[in-house]
Amino acid sequence: MLNRRMLLGAGMAALSGLRAEGAAPGLRAIAAARGVLFGTAAGSYQLRDGDFQTALTREAAILVPEYEQVREAIEPDPGRFDFAGADLLTSFAGRSGMAMHGHTLVWYAANPKWLDEKVAHAPDDEIFTYYITKVMQHYAGAYRSWDVVNEAIWLQDGRADGLRTSQWLKRFGPGYIDTAFHAAKQADHKALLVYSDWGCEGGEAWNDVFRAKTLQLLEGLKARGVPVEALGLQGHLNGFGPPVDQAKLRAFLDRVKALGLKILVTELDVDDTKAPREIAARDQAVADATARFLDVVMDNPATVAVLTWGLTDRYLPKPAWLKGLPGYVPRKLPLDTDLKRKPMWNAIARAFGRR
């Protein structure tokens, strides 16, 4: 028979049910229990959203500035540094017991307009070593890891070594990559130094070449004693394009590990623009693509961290071209626009469970 106390108890249970998502362990704890860091990219403006802050603190153990730490943000004019946005994220992480991942020091893109001309006429490599030193020393002690060189491979440029003929390569040759890692090591010897790229996950023929060129690059760096310490797999997946080839990815990651490198997923998200409009089918496909990729990545004991390129669909840009896709709202991240966990969240949690 129901009495008042039981009814009260039932009411409390219902209430705590409502709060269950807040109380249930986040990916932060689930990953930590397996010795892995889960984290995400964010913009400092998102920290003004209290609900987002709560979700972020529950889910993430490591944070990366999504766009406030590229060179065009940090050094808008030669020698004038603006750390404001990345500093906000860094101090939030410090207050919340989160680690930081830096993004990114030497990249062909997202540079200030003045840079390319200066690189082309630079008397020496100080044009990027002073930048590495300045930025890494500013954050030394607070950063767990850094994307030192980003996206140095681009097969379309037709070089035998697969390297992109970027402004850096044109002026300094392939050795700019060595120099960048040496400068990074000197600037902060405690941070894990990462080479990050995006072509290693897929199952297409060009991905085979991309993986081979990546291994060639990493083997060369290691053979020359260059302090590259980890490979970052960006993990920009396409839920509706050619799927990840698990066998090829597994074999590739085994070879990366054999080189003595750690592995991170640095920018996981799932392009769902070609998905069915129906939400459940869309979410399932995004989750399936995530599982297909992350299950293999997590099976490799060298994997130390997984970062998604944003935590929630709430802030995803809705670019003008999406107007050509009536009814489409992007659902490519672990939490929906209400910060509720989606099937992608479950796929990530399950992948950590494989450890």
Residues binding ligand 9MR (CB under 6 A) = 66-67, 70, 110, 234, 236, 267
Listed in order, strand segments (DSSP E) in 54-187 are 62-65, 99-106, 143-150
Write down the least CB distance from residue 111 to ligand 9MR, Å. Answer: 10
In whole angstroms, how large is the CA radius of gyration of the chain?
Answer: 21
Query: 43: buried, middle or exposed (CB in 10 Å: 19+, 13-18, 0-12)?
Result: middle
Helices (H), 140-245: 167-172, 175-187, 205-223
Those residues with Cβ within 8 angstroms of residue 151's Cβ, 6 or more apart along the chain or in another chain: 107, 108, 109, 164, 196, 197, 198
Write down the least CB distance from residue 123 to ligand 9MR, Å. Answer: 28
Helix axis angle for 246-258 and 279-299, nearest 10°, is: 30
Give me 8's structure tokens. 């009260």
Write down the least CB distance from residue 28 to ligand 9MR, Å. Answer: 22
Write down the least CB distance from residue 196 to ligand 9MR, Å. Answer: 7
Q: Which is nearer to ligand 9MR, 217 or 307 (CB)?
A: 307
Residue with tokens 């996950």: 201
Q: Which is nearer to ligand 9MR, 46 or 284 (CB)?
A: 46
Question: In the bound complex, which residue of the shown chain has the CB atom lying closest to ligand 9MR?
Answer: 110
Q: Which is nearer to ligand 9MR, 111 or 300 (CB)?
A: 111
Those residues with Cβ within 8 angstroms of residue 294's Cβ, 6 or more apart along the chain or in another chain: 265, 268, 306, 347, 348, 351
Those residues with Cβ within 8 angstroms of residue 124's Cβ, 6 or more apart along the chain or in another chain: none
Write down the least CB distance from residue 308 to ligand 9MR, Å. Answer: 12
- Report in angstroms the alpha-carbon separations of 200 from 131, 157, 215, 261, 262: 28, 17, 10, 15, 15
Q: Which is nearer to ligand 9MR, 134 or 236 (CB)?
A: 236
Say which amino acid occupies 316.
L
Write down the least CB distance from residue 353 to ligand 9MR, Å. Answer: 28
Q: Which is nearer to ligand 9MR, 188 or 267 (CB)?
A: 267
Q: Which is nearer to ligand 9MR, 30 or 89 (CB)?
A: 89
Q: Which is nearer to ligand 9MR, 67 or 240 (CB)?
A: 67
Write down the least CB distance from residue 17 to ligand 9MR, Å. Answer: 36
